[in-house]
Amino acid sequence: MRTKQKGKSEMRHNRSRKVRFTKHAREKFEVVKHYGFEIDEKEVVKTIQDPARVDKKGTQYLAIRAINAKYALRVVYEERKDYLLVITFYPVRRKRYGV
């Protein structure tokens, strides 16, 4: 997996595009809540717009951003013609991903 550095033009590009969620991603809010993580749509969008790092695997982007001292949020999304599509997201330990 290659790490992609985010440039200013990429950041602006992601901030100006609409974000949509798959059915799986919408259902994921309740799943992570069950495990004690209060993640909402704003948190997911913020991770896409202002990530600590973005990796790319095939056609999918994996954005990651710290959400507290111990955990980060990882968001998997794809670029579509007029919007960004969130496939899934999940909390991860910051230490594991170096965030």
**What's the pLDDT at 68?**
94
Could you list the pLDDT tens digit for every one of the 99 residues in the chain?
444 444 433 444 566 789 999 999 999 999 999 999 999 999 999 999 999 999 999 999 999 999 999 999 999 999 999 999 999 999 999 999 999
What class has domain 2-97? alpha beta
Long-range pairs, 38-45, Cβ under 8 A, ≥24: 39/67, 39/73, 39/89, 39/91, 43/67, 43/73, 44/19, 44/73, 44/75, 44/86, 44/89, 45/19
Q: What's the predicted TM-score (pTM) here?
A: 0.83
Domain residues of the chain, as ranges?
A: 2-97
